[in-house]
Amino acid sequence: MDTIECIKTRRSVRSYINEKPGRGLIEQVVSAAAWAPSWKNTQIARYIAIEDRKLLDEIVERFVPSYNARIIQSAPLLFAVTMMTGRSGFERDGTPTTDRGDGWQMFDCGVACQTLCLAAHAMGLGTVIMGIFERKGLEQFLEVPEGQELVALVAAGYPDTTPAAPPRKDVSVLLTYR
């Protein structure tokens, strides 16, 4: 699959077959995601791979009170994507380098998430990034280390459907020249 095809055919997959991706494949996906660009190559994104059904069910029951519950019930794998805080966008003494303040760390995490999703797609796995969950409680439950924050959940697995592509804005809307 070439890069443009990978970018254009990746979809948010919300329903999966009942087959766990192997550890080797999970590690290949994360190894590819490690090549995401980041602020001064700080590489602040971290991934917790949750495969245990009981754990996934408890996460749904306690921390995902939305339509995302059904996605996680279907998914054999869930990445909790965390970031090390206070590095990306900051000087060594802790002062923000730009007027974006702590915005760059979320930016880096987004870049890392998309790289993870594209790598997964290239390797035959579907994914969906999820932003709606009870963050503080889940952070504690997953024992996210001090100095890190939970940013997003990414469900993953072998797709059992090929979702239709939601429409995209035209270049004439997206692009201006000066």
Ligand X SMILES: Cc1cc2nc3c(=O)[nH]c(=O)nc-3n(C[C@H](O)[C@H](O)[C@H](O)COP(=O)(O)O)c2cc1C
Interface residues toward ligand X, by CB under 6 A: 11-12, 14, 68, 71, 128-132, 163, 166
Nearer to ligand X, 12 or 91 (CB): 12
In the complex, what is the shortest distance from the CB of residue 110 to ligand X, in angstroms, rounded to a whole number? 7
Nearer to ligand X, 11 or 87 (CB): 11
Count CB-CB contacts under 10 A for residue 139. 17
Nearer to ligand X, 91 or 171 (CB): 171
In the complex, what is the shortest distance from the CB of residue 70 to ligand X, in angstroms, rounded to a whole number? 9
Nearer to ligand X, 129 or 138 (CB): 129
Q: Specify the long-range contacts of residues 3-10, CB closer than 8 Å, at least 24 apart.
A: 6/118, 6/121, 6/122, 7/118, 8/165, 9/121, 10/117, 10/118, 10/121, 10/127
In the complex, what is the shortest distance from the CB of residue 117 to ligand X, in angstroms, rounded to a whole number? 8
Q: Which two tokens mark 93?
A: 């003494």
Q: Which two tokens mark 2?
A: 């070439």
In the complex, what is the shortest distance from the CB of residue 74 to ligand X, in angstroms, rounded to a whole number? 11
Nearer to ligand X, 26 or 118 (CB): 118
Q: Which two tokens mark 149?
A: 């924050």
In the complex, what is the shortest distance from the CB of residue 93 to ligand X, in angstroms, rounded to a whole number? 31
35 CB-near residues (< 8 Å, 6+ apart): 115
Contact in structure between 139 and 105 (CB atoms under 8 Å): no
| Angstrom distance (rounded) from CA 114 to CA 83 | 14
